[in-house]
Structure 1
């Protein structure tokens, strides 16, 4: 069996996911085969594997850091929130059903065997498994059936490192308080702590670190500063949406709906030097962007009503009348059509609702979820914003519950050539006659630099600006270099000798 180590946190968003990815890359650099593992992930950001199975995106970028293909064994349980009290429960990549929190709490007993079997399979396959907990390590109200933190550490018999976030304040109290709330047996598993997201001079922390070690009786294994390394954020909580960017030559605004999913579709734009991004949050209005994007969503009809009730629908239509480019991805694509129908009540009680109406399409929701990886070729005959795209190759994945039918005033965006690695031939996506409204089900379509840069240069040309070449030639290569940067950064700030000693028992 391989070695294992588990990172747990004092709270959500303390940086566990990034640190897990960094350790995965460090162990890979040191010659070990390594895999990430998170027993239960609650997120609207998800990914489809080559087998057509659904998993959380955090374990995908951790697998990339480890240099391996992501599989659902790395995230056997995915919860996709669908309301204030319930979630869609996905086990080993397949939807079980929607469950209220009380029902899911009972269901956890059935999952413990699956988790042990899945984890043991990874531990037999890889030299090292780097595990990540969820939320706080000391959720005392949920301890009885905990399968995310100490409960999973016990199943795997893994040593634990607790991560605290100093940027939010109170890191010493949160680390010490977490240790106090753990049982004696759980405290024995904790072999050290990490202070994350530090800003300032480390020497000012020295006395506090020594006092903390005296209190909690385990070492501080590192004080990790903030960094500007471009790695995906934690999947359920992110500061990305609040980040302010000065406007650049091309400005993109993305509607942040309440159930927005897969915002990682737009990470690529942050690598382009002439692009600025703004997420339009609740109570805010759209500005004057070159591109407005409606992203994917877990609840299309609910988020469509949100856009309508908050005045954003009319603002999107106004931008369309001004000739701006309007793009919808997945649920956003469905919203751009004329009608959305839900005869089987897949999303709720509303059986039919008018869409925004910028595309001559109609979507009918179905009970079965489409989950597939695809490869596609952009269709011919497109102009304007989509000029010079004919024949370009794109790839990504689809996650949706509906089928969208095109009307007479619509062109296809692309032809799907491969689906789950099998040859196919059918059209996908929709483009209006003016080529300034685009809808597609393909998550990750913008990750192709050639495709994205061509659209951006078409906009530059319309604005009388010279075309630019991307400094990033391949997004995959860009991410790989960032994982190396992360690993090298962590080597400077973590006591890796002690971490190896902890793993070796």
Structure 2
């Protein structure tokens, strides 16, 4: 088997994007390549064809490889439900919900499925490019590690360490990482590269030489900042720019504390006629034409968070002025009269009063719906290609005015005047015909954007960017 692992000297150093770019570059060189991330923590998940779920970054990397997403590309997915606990997904299926402290006891039994998934991919492809999580410098988490050096040593995969110069202190990041690692872990690192450089790269030449001299590692290049990174789906909500575009049609999206599957918004952000504003905690909802309440991993918890920000009051004012509201998944559930969780699926058992814009109620159940779907938008008869990933069932009078028809059955709901709508369908705005019709119906001017082609072109540009600035041949030769 041939593999290479990209680890980071810190979180958010750009590992996911580099892996996606390397995957596309390797594919363009004629290699059969697959992405792999042993353990990911994200509420931004993708649904695979067989009804499993993986991190959204691995779905993008699969696209870069020309492959359909597979549960084997991200065998362990942690989905935070609170500040101290996460849902544990193993090879696409929910295993348990555990507190962070208890997860350590679960780790020993998870290395087997991790290695099984890795070997499954390695047997089918010329190359597997592996992405670490966080940083190996978090040596307090080394025992039972699945994400970084624990995996690298178990699978005997060489490591290239990525440092982020944009945040400063990159020399200390690299040298400091080597200093705190166990010598056997440090021996797995065969080289490094520097990411997100802005300006004249030659000004860092002495810093580059210093890192190589102090660590003994081989430098594979300094990668300038990739300006089109925002055009690719982000996995971390913190990576979403606060404002997209300058179009006349204004959309506002409150960033919930457990926001999930927010890549629903990416196609809208690319529309020239749209201004998309991500509203952070402590900020009011701005004047706009449409408020989108996004998905959430903890609907009742995020409904309390929404109210704590005063966004419920802002939403009332928006609705009173004639503004429109769209709820997606958890946001859809919030728009109803009440949300009941009798078995404590998402947290403490109980019931929470909804925002009351739709005449329906939601009951949380242990059954999770994970499936890719094709539906028809009720208002425009346009095809929607998307997916469902949720617990809970929502029923009520407004369900009789569905958002869409799924297998001939009503899906979602609308208020009598049509200004408030809700749906469980994720990924729907990637469908160009539907997106254009939806925007046109609301009075916006669609651009004719072909979203999928735009993402493919951006991946090609990322690969070219990496080829121009990194020693790609050297990186591929390093793989074993």
The correspondence of residues 362-381 of structure 1 with structure 2, limited to 5 A, is 362-379=361-378
2:158 corresponds in structure 1 to 159
Q: Distance in 1 between matches of 2:244 and 2:328?
A: 23
Report the equivalent of 2:300. 301
Partner of 1:397: 387
Give the aligned partner of residue 414 of structure 1.
404
Partner residue in 2 for 1:16? 15
Q: Aligned residue for 1:238?
A: 238
Distance in 1, matches of 2:187 and 2:310, equals 55
Partner in structure 2 of residue 385 of structure 1: none
Q: Is the 8 A contact 1:409 1:433 kept in 2?
A: no
Question: Cα distance 1:408–1:371, how it changes in 2: closer, same or farther (>3 A)?
Answer: closer
Q: Name the counterpart of 1:386.
A: none
Give the TM-score normalised by structure 2.
0.97
Q: Which runs of 5+ in 2 are unaligned?
A: none
8 Å Cα contact 2:399/2:411 also seen in 1: no
**Aligned equivalents of 1:236 and 1:270: distance in 2?**
16
Could you give the per-residue CA deviations for residues 392-444 of structure 1, whole angstroms, max 9, x where no partner exists? 10011111110000215850111113xxxxxxx32101111211111000110
How far residue 500 of structure 1 moved from its aligned partner, in angstroms, is 2.3
Does 404-413 or 51-60 show the bigger shift?
A: 404-413
Change (3 A) 1:237 1:441: closer
Of 425, 443, 447, which residue of structure 2 is paired with 1:442? 425
Q: Distance in 1 between matches of 2:173 and 2:399?
A: 59
Matches for 1:95-110 after TM superposition, within 5 Å: 95-110=94-109
Between the aligned partners of 2:90 and 2:382, the Cα distance in structure 1 is 36
Aligned residues: CA RMSD: 1.5
1:318-337 correspondence to structure 2 within 5 Å: 318-337=317-336
Alpha carbons 1:18, 1:231 under 8 Å: kept: no
- Using the size of structure 1 for normalisation, the TM-score is 0.92
User: What's the CA shift for 1:501?
Assistant: 2.3
Name the SS of the counterpart of 1:277 in structure 2.
Answer: strand
Structure 2 distance, partners of 1:398, 1:343, is: 22
- Displacement of 1:309 in angstroms is 2.6
How far apart in 2 are the matches of 1:468 and 1:335? Answer: 28
- Correspondence for 1:476: 452
Following the alignment from structure 1 to structure 2, what is the Cα–Cα distance between the partners of residues 244 and 70?
Answer: 29
Deviation at 1:239, TM superposition (A): 2.9
CA distance in 2, matches of 1:456, 1:95: 36
Q: What residue number does 1:25 align with?
A: 24
Distance 1:251 1:234, change over 3 A: closer
**1:246 to partner: Cα distance:** 6.3
2:54 corresponds in structure 1 to 55
Greater CA drift, 248-257 or 452-461: 452-461
SS in structure 2 of the partner of residue 162 of structure 1: strand
Deviant stretches of 4+, over 6 Å: none
Contact in 1 for aligned 2:41/2:79 (Cα 8 Å): yes
The C-alpha deviation readout for 1:73-131, integer Å capped at 9, x for no partner, is 00000001111211111101111111112221011100111111211111111110000
8 Å CA contact 2:271–2:447 kept in 1: the answer is no
| Deviation by residue 1:11-62 (Cα, 9 ceiling, x = unmatched) | 1100000000001001110111110000000001011111111111110000
- From the superposition, tell whether residues 27 and 177 of structure 1 become closer, same or farther in structure 2 (CA, over 3 Å): same
Cα distance in 2 for partners of 1:191, 1:89 equals 32
1:314 and 1:118 map into 2 onto residues whose CA distance is 48
Partner of 2:38 in structure 1? 39
State the partner residue of 2:466.
Answer: 490
Residues 267 and 260 of structure 1: CA distance in aligned 2, closer, same or farther (over 3 Å): same
Note if contact 1:13-1:238 (Cα within 8 Å) is conserved in structure 2: no
Moved more, 342-351 or 27-36: 342-351
1:218-297 matches, within 5 Å, as 218-229=217-228, 230-232=230-232, 235-236=235-236, 238-241=238-241, 243-245=242-244, 247-297=246-296
Aligned to 1:238, the other structure's residue is in SS state: helix
Structure 1: state its 5+ residue gaps: 383-388, 418-424, 462-466
| Cα distance in 2 between the residues matched to 1:459 and 1:111 | 48
Q: Specify the alignment match of 1:65 in structure 2.
A: 64
* Aligned-partner Cα distance in 2 for 1:244–1:117: 42
CA distance in 2, matches of 1:179, 1:45: 31
Tell me the distance in 2 between the aligned counterparts of 1:61 and 1:435: 34
Deviations 1:242-287 (A, max 9, x none): x345642111100111111111110001211111111111111011
Q: Give me the whole-angstrom Cα distance separating, in 2, the residues matched to 1:321 and 1:410.
A: 24
Q: How does 1:136-155 map to 2 (within 5 A)?
A: 136-155=135-154
- Equivalent residues in 2 for 1:178-257 (5 A)? 178-229=177-228, 230-232=230-232, 235-236=235-236, 238-241=238-241, 243-245=242-244, 247-257=246-256
